[in-house]
Structure 1
């Protein structure tokens, strides 16, 4: 039988609200109603079927879980024993696809959507995997941490109806984790169908911006402000890193924009490096005395920084 994507039929996203679904249905129904000049009975039935499913929270939940792996118009391959379990036919004027999910003999009967869903035998399907983004600081990414997270997790009641509930999960963030990597929590995803196993929950790492550091791949960059005399004469500076402070010698004659490297203080299981970028900051000549000092420097240290112009 042919799979039907009810979201595509109504022209809405899978995340559409009830109001958006109703609005889309009314617009299309008004256009394709058989009594209208633009009417199309086949199209109208298809629209009505899509609304029948997406406007019902329980039917929508089952459709989302069972049908997410298919595309509109794709041939629907039912599991072994599916036809005898779910039945077929066009009762009520709906498609075979609808009937196979929601109406068949030995299925819902008078128990409603939830009762039949929970009571079927033979047909099992693993629940969908879920992905949740988790903000992680650079310090946590380098050193690891244990966090208690409050997440919205899909659950199913005894009748198989799916709902969201808040759940606190203790998660170990391993040292060396990087942007975009995922932590897998087995069986913490959406519930399975017909007693099938739960899906998995994946925590996708999103590195938090930092007031001092910026990240490029596995390397970490830190801008180091220096006075002109520190850069000219050289100095020693205590440098912050994600694994504690490091004493570093700044060589004499350091120019603004030059880079110094601290090996192994970056990100990843095999850590990248931390680069120190020199930024020379010039004090303001705010009074006559400092202005005279700069004038003396100009006379005694003539220097043209733009010979290439």
Structure 2
């Protein structure tokens, strides 16, 4: 599916518009909020895949140019002699300044220094250059760890292990998976910068996982047990009697483990009234207010 259509945005949408569209749809379609709904699950996968592509400016530009498809796979490019012969001075028979040029450069150095070495009694050996990539990772995989496949510019694939506690902007190093060495030297490494996708329910603060939990008016007044999602599954928590919006429940040890420290999950309560408010509730509150009026704003603006 076209990623722009999947997110419901125009092709000239800003990155902020794309992010907002993803968060809105992800909250609506997330499997935790639609248990057993296969249609919502498939749409959630489409939306996530579209966001993977469009949130990366480089991938988005390549898709817009027709170089990759909606899944991020390379589209075959057929280039003829005329394509290169008619190119400008900077492009005629030239490379693209990317990974594909490095093999040719290595061959030139190997040939040059190999001849010099043969004339001087020894060969020139040098370590290959490091190759740099970017990998989009789901929030839960960054927290819990996982495996993901990355496609290299030459079409080969690498299986990447994502360690638990991976942060946005972190670097994974794959030893020996970079550019080949010169004159028999060792290959470089592959350096993979991780970009963690936002989650519709969770956000990270330090090592703590933070989420907002809607509760009903009666749950706020009377208290009770409610089921909440965590990064490792669903659990039951107790909402205390007389809870208010902004109150925080804490699940010890349910956050992210990183740097030898395991965080907590903080659950921020949000009281949500039914829509519309029915007549019975409104009549009860009118009667209650007449004899139980209080002012929660009494301290505002006073020093």
TM normalised by structure 1 equals 0.57
Cα deviation 1:114-161 (Å, max 9, x = unaligned) = 883484433222222122221222221233222222222xxxxxxxxx
**Is residue 2:121 matched to residue 1:144?**
no
Q: Distance in 1 between matches of 2:239 and 2:219?
A: 8
**Is residue 2:278 matched to residue 1:283?**
no
RMSD: 3.2
Partner of 2:27: none
Work out whether residues 135 and 192 of structure 2, in 8 Å CA contact, stay in contact via their aligned partners in 1: yes
Partner of 1:57: 94
SS at match of 2:262: coil
- Report 1:215-230 matches (<5 A): 215-230=204-219
2:200 to 195, 206, 211: 211
Work out whether residues 54 and 60 of structure 1, in 8 Å CA contact, stay in contact via their aligned partners in 2: no
Work out whether residues 148 and 161 of structure 2, in 8 Å CA contact, stay in contact via their aligned partners in 1: yes
Q: In the TM superposition, what is the alpha-carbon distance from 1:190 to its structure 2 partner? A: 1.9
Work out whether residues 117 and 194 of structure 1, in 8 Å CA contact, stay in contact via their aligned partners in 2: no
Partner of 1:127: 128
Shift in alpha-carbon separation, 1:174–1:150, aligned structure 2, 3 A: same
Q: Distance in 1 between matches of 2:294 and 2:249?
A: 25
Q: In the TM superposition, what is the alpha-carbon distance from 1:196 to its structure 2 partner? A: 2.3
Shift in alpha-carbon separation, 1:209–1:58, aligned structure 2, 3 A: closer
Q: Distance in 1 between matches of 2:151 and 2:96?
A: 27
SS at match of 1:57: coil
Shift in alpha-carbon separation, 1:217–1:55, aligned structure 2, 3 A: farther
Shift in alpha-carbon separation, 1:306–1:53, aligned structure 2, 3 A: closer
Work out whether residues 136 and 194 of structure 2, in 8 Å CA contact, stay in contact via their aligned partners in 1: yes
Cα deviation 1:239-269 (Å, max 9, x = unaligned) = 2101112211111122211111111111234
Show structure 2 runs of 5+ residues with no match. 1-87, 118-122
Q: In the TM superposition, what is the alpha-carbon distance from 1:65 to its structure 2 partner? A: 6.0
Q: Distance in 2 between matches of 1:243 and 1:148?
A: 22
**Is residue 2:227 matched to residue 1:238?**
yes
Q: Distance in 2 between matches of 1:212 and 1:61?
A: 38
Partner of 2:76: none
Work out whether residues 259 and 275 of structure 1, in 8 Å CA contact, stay in contact via their aligned partners in 2: yes
SS at match of 1:193: coil
Q: In the TM superposition, what is the alpha-carbon distance from 1:194 to its structure 2 partner? A: 2.9
Work out whether residues 167 and 196 of structure 2, in 8 Å CA contact, stay in contact via their aligned partners in 1: yes
Q: Distance in 2 between matches of 1:132 and 1:61?
A: 11
TM normalised by structure 2 equals 0.58
Work out whether residues 252 and 263 of structure 2, in 8 Å CA contact, stay in contact via their aligned partners in 1: yes
Shift in alpha-carbon separation, 1:285–1:183, aligned structure 2, 3 A: closer
Work out whether residues 58 and 114 of structure 1, in 8 Å CA contact, stay in contact via their aligned partners in 2: no
- Report 1:241-252 matches (<5 A): 241-252=230-241
Q: Distance in 2 between matches of 1:52 and 1:286?
A: 71
Shift in alpha-carbon separation, 1:251–1:186, aligned structure 2, 3 A: same
Q: In the TM superposition, what is the alpha-carbon distance from 1:276 to its structure 2 partner? A: 0.4
Work out whether residues 109 and 182 of structure 2, in 8 Å CA contact, stay in contact via their aligned partners in 1: no
Q: Distance in 1 between matches of 2:218 and 2:233?
A: 27
Shift in alpha-carbon separation, 1:123–1:131, aligned structure 2, 3 A: same
SS at match of 1:166: coil
